[in-house]
Chains A and B, each alone.
Chain A
Amino acid sequence: MSRRVSAAGCFARGVALSLSKPYLAVSLWLIQLLLAGVLVLPVSNALHSLLDHSSTGSRMVADPDFGWWETIRRTHPDLLGRLPGAVEDATGVEGVKPGSLAELQGIGATAISLALLGIVLHAFALGGIFGALREPHSSLVVFGREGMRRFPAFLAFTLGALAAALAAYHWIYLVTGETWRDRLNDLDTEGQAMALTTARVVVFLLALAAIKLVADSVRAIWVARPDLPAVSRLFAGLAAAFSRPARLFGVLLLYVLSGAALYVLWIFLDPSAGGEARFALVPLILAQQVFVFLRSLLKVGYYAGVSEALTRVPSPEYSYVPAAAVEPVASVDRAPDEAAIDGPAGAI
């Protein structure tokens, strides 16, 4: 008799797996650090040039100075371009338009490029994470090998999911905003307008969640079922996502909530503020990186939780009959615990 495991159980198991293989989180953290590190020199040089000899600088050790920020935005459009405005637009009622990319400059434009590069590297990292999670004795070498092995497929999944997410932003958020712009003003109260906007956002976020869960399910099954042909794995992954939507969504929700809790904690403790009184520079940087690492641990935990939810604990109502175990093809370096989906509990 199979036992049902809740979303919380899957997520907890995932986090435990993440903690047992910390080099996965380290890898994610390093990728993000290296990407962001590209900006260190241009940002640092620009800030030192602007602030080191300025009397304003001493006022800004702890807190931002509104006047300085406004002046720099005006006098140095080459630094960020319209990035702050684009970020504001993206979370505005009507959303950011594609043309905003053309108005980015300098560090602002570089940040977007780095983010796109981050998405590509993330595809590699996910291959490594999903693969390494299935290895009992894995290492950074396994992470790299698995990542490279699955990179083409995972990049395709990532780009597909990215395209789907952008389409969701356009069709669910932007188009409804444009369509309802005038009707929004016809509503009786601002509360109704906010509710409508919130509904748009919720639908958009649900669509994003669905896209993410489908993509992650496909990834998990792609790794778990090397015995199937590629097209079958793809459809098996899609089917898996729809077979356990509640559990998967629960895992995602727990991941989002725990991540949000980390951010709330960060903002509450606010180690960046307070200047030298609270944190010297080195402890501040350490605190920041510990935060990012903790978030990476959670992220790996989430992926492990998804894998758990899909492959480790079968649902009794799930009707898919697994294929007979087949020997892995010679070129596939299959891990000992790499079992077929929905095998009997304890078989893995």
Chain B
Amino acid sequence: MPRAKGRSSLLALARNALPALAAIAATASAAPLPAAPLTRPIASYQISCRLDAEKKVVEGTELLTWTNTTTHPAATLQFHLYLNAFRNTLSTFWRESGGGHRGNRLPESWGSIELTRMTLADGSDLLPALSYISPDDGNPHDRTSAEVQLPRPVAPGETISVSIDFRSRLPRVSTRTGWKGDFFLVGQWFPKIGVFEEKGWNCHQFHGVSEFFADFGNYDVSIDVPARYRGKVGATGVRVEERDLPGERVLYRFRSESVHDFAWTADPDYLVVHDLFREPGIADTQIHLFLQPEHRAKEGRYLRSVKAALSGYGRVLGPYPYATLTVVDPPWGARGAGGMEYPTFITGGTHRMSPANEHSPEGVTIHEFGHQYFYGLLASNEFEEPWLDEGFNEYMEDRVVGAAYGSDNPVVTVFGWRFPVGIPIRRPLDVNRRYFRVATEDVLAAPAWKFRSSAGYAGHVYSKTALALATLERLIGTSTMNRAMRLYADRWRFRHPKTADFIAAVNDATGQDWHWFFDRTFFSSGAVDYAVEDATSEKSKPPKGLFESEGRLVEKPPADLASPKGWDTVVTVARRGEVAMPVEVALRFEGGHTYRSRWDGEARWKRFRVERGPKLVEAIVDPGEKVLLDVDRTNNGRLVTPDPRAASRWTSRAVFWMQNLVDFLTVAW
């Protein structure tokens, strides 16, 4: 049961807030928003909240309007109370994350969300009927999902209103939400209703790696902050009001339609930059960049990357439909707030000394913008099918970043100073190599919290998906792939697509059945590995033995075989991985001749013979690098005549640098 502490003060807050909510409703029609919602709202919120910047607490009142869109009645309501993930070390999030996130230790700064009032429109008090649930792991200590029994079921098609008072205590930023000093990123901060499906409620707990799932609706949120945050508050949607309040405070009101979450940020140090994205065929978008003063020099890089993303994603998946995009640059020490997406609101992140070819903040900004599609518009279930948002977005990010910026360069950090290394990292293959380290550990198509490790989750959900889709693109062609992606995006905008829906879009776009491909990639833990095991080319020799000549057998071969010219070539290509893919095999001969052959790749090996042809130079399996899931490309090509140059040079380098290492280690003492 929720704690009753502080209830009286919250009731007072609620009493104060109700007139504000009424005012919101009265002025809604005057707000500068699109005339009609982009989709039918299912879960809409009117929230009025107040930030206590010193106590790191947000107190609020929420009016939830929810419609049962299924064909059966709902006897209960289920809610996400995700700030309780930070309540203590017994939460499922804390247990699964092992006290760390993205390689950083979680600070012992606790967060929570307490419900102090929950009533229906008729005044029925729901709070006594509230209980915490743990549908995923049965953890009795987890408080991130809750269920409330209704006095009477909500009938199919019926809409109800629930009024809730809540008090959210924010943690020090570590995972997508929290504070650092005066900086606030306020996400997952209000009681959010789950998704009611035909099979019942879908309301997962907050996990170590997974993200979110919610229904679309309209948000009208008033945020009351201290006056020092004037002009430094950004949020989901469009800002429709700024008003001074008594007591050195200021109120901001934001509205957003057809979204499924709401986040906001405030930091008195922000440099706020406004820009406009305009491109023929794509609707104009107002860009609001909330930049840290330390990253002033990155302003242009942020804006250019946002525009590249709006253009790149928009051309393939259809225009970004919202009027604004807010981009947040978190401060130092709040990296856990970076690289996160909320509807019309993303957080980037960069380093003070990030060289241009590291593409930071470009990569993360483009990635997070991509989630406006894969999560925002195509609101798949991030718990149950995380690849549909992270993996698909990774694939598109590789395309957009690659087109706009080319290859990345790795960065070496020496005592905190970052230096680029002149080795190109190609997209999508090189940036997704983490998959190869965990290739056979998990099946990609698994719920987010059921991967063996966070490395397994990232390697599969992000990288395997991206490599699989890039492989598919190379198999069916980029234009066909674009058609499939667009079909999928158009069909499922503002809905909850599943993997089967994407496969259907691919099948429709290609006119072929590609289930086999997804069975072998998304639904298999097998690895792909093709190799040229042997490649020889020897001078053709005359045959020996008995041959027919003028009706009798002689030991002399016929004249046309007696002095063969050319070379006999034998190449053996093997499938070393469990998973088969169609591959091309190229035999490159002297004189520039190349023989290409398609192999379905099903058998364990295939042998190619060429008699009396030119001499083979090399044999390559998958020469066009189409099958990007191949876990070991170093065995994909084989030279007939060994070329020792590379090995000799790298040996000399190794010895040289070993000499330098010996010298370095002996110099200090």
Contact = CB atoms under 8 A, between A and B. Distances in A.
A212 B415 contact: no
B429 A67 contact: yes
B156 interface: no
A193 interface: yes
B1 interface: no
A206 interface: no
A36 B638 contact: no
Interface stretch (A3-11, A183-191, A331-339): A183-191
B661 interface: yes
A35 interface: yes
Interface string B638-663: 11001111111111111110111111
A110 to B, nearest CB: 10
B666 A119 contact: yes
B415 A71 contact: no
A254 B105 CA distance: 42
A51 B651 CA distance: 11
Contacts of A68: 634
A55 B353 contact: no
Given A66-B423, A67-B429, A111-B661, A54 B638 contact: yes
Given A52-B644, A92-B413, A201-B415, A285 B666 contact: no
Interface in A52-89: 52-58, 60-61, 63-64, 66-68, 70-72, 74-75, 88
B433 A190 contact: no
Given A52-B643, A74-B437, A281 B649 contact: yes
Nearest to A125: B666
A88 B658 CA distance: 17
Given A52-B642, A61-B646, A193 B669 contact: no
A208 B667 CA distance: 10
Q: Which label, helix, strand, loop or mixed, suits the secondary structure of the A interface?
A: helix
Contacts of A122: 666
Interface in B385-434: 410, 412-417, 423-426, 429-430, 433
Contact of A55 (B333, B620, B655): B620
A91 B414 contact: yes
B107 A198 contact: no
B636 A194 contact: no
A57 B618 CA distance: 12
Which of B425, B636, B668 has the most chain A CB within a 10 Å cutoff? B668
Task: Give the bracket for the number of chain B residues in contact with chain A.
Answer: 35 or more
Interface string A80-114: 00000000100111000000000000000001001
Contacts of A70: 430, 433, 436
A194 B416 contact: yes
B623 to A, nearest CB: 9
Interface in B339-382: 351-353
A115 interface: yes
A67 B633 contact: yes
A56 B667 contact: no
Nearest to B636: A55
A246 interface: no
A51 B332 contact: no
B294 interface: yes
Given A64-B423, A66-B430, A189-B352, A276 B415 contact: no
A52 B650 CA distance: 12
B655 A37 contact: yes
A299 B662 CA distance: 13
Interface in A161-181: 161-162, 164-165, 181
A159 to B, nearest CB: 8
Interface stretch (A38-46, A222-230, A306-314, A321-329): A38-46
Nearest to B423: A66
A70 B430 CA distance: 9
A158 interface: yes
Interface in A106-165: 111, 114-115, 118-119, 122, 158, 161-162, 164-165
A285 B665 contact: no
B139 interface: no
Contacts of B499: none
Contacts of A162: 669
B609 to A, nearest CB: 19
B334 to A, nearest CB: 8
Contacts of B181: 188
B632 interface: yes
A211 interface: yes
Contacts of A215: 669
B331 interface: yes
Nearest to A107: B654
Contacts of A51: 643, 646-647, 650
Contacts of A345: none
A71 B663 contact: no
Given A48-B647, A191-B294, A35 B662 contact: yes
B669 A58 contact: no
A171 B332 CA distance: 26
Contacts of A272: 649, 653, 656
A97 to B, nearest CB: 15
B237 interface: no
B614 interface: no
B639 A115 contact: no
A54 B351 contact: no
Given A119-B669, A193-B332, A212-B669, A40 B651 contact: yes
B654 A39 contact: yes
B597 interface: no
Given A47-B647, A56-B633, A67 B433 contact: yes
A118 B666 contact: yes
A232 B604 CA distance: 77
Given A44-B651, A194-B416, A188 B430 contact: no
A197 interface: yes
A94 B634 CA distance: 34
A165 B668 contact: yes
B8 interface: no
Given A70-B433, A165-B669, A53 B639 contact: yes
A32 interface: yes
A288 interface: yes
B637 A55 contact: yes
A44 B647 contact: yes
B191 to A, nearest CB: 30
Given A47-B647, A281-B649, A187 B415 contact: no
B635 interface: yes
B178 to A, nearest CB: 12
Given A40-B651, A47-B650, A115-B665, A74 B436 contact: yes
Contacts of B180: 185
Given A47-B647, A47-B650, A119-B666, A56 B637 contact: yes
Given A115-B665, A118-B662, 6 more contacts: A33-B659, A54-B637, A55-B636, A67-B433, A74-B437, A288-B652
The 4 closest A-B pairs by CB, nearest first: A55-B637, A161-B669, A47-B647, A52-B642
5 contacts: A66-B424, A88-B412, A111-B661, A185-B107, A191-B294
Interface of A: 32-33, 35-37, 39-40, 43-44, 47-48, 50-58, 60-61, 63-64, 66-68, 70-72, 74-75, 88, 91-93, 111, 114-115, 118-119, 122, 158, 161-162, 164-165, 181-182, 184-194, 197-198, 201, 208, 211-212, 215, 272, 275-276, 281, 284-285, 288-289, 291-292, 295-296, 299
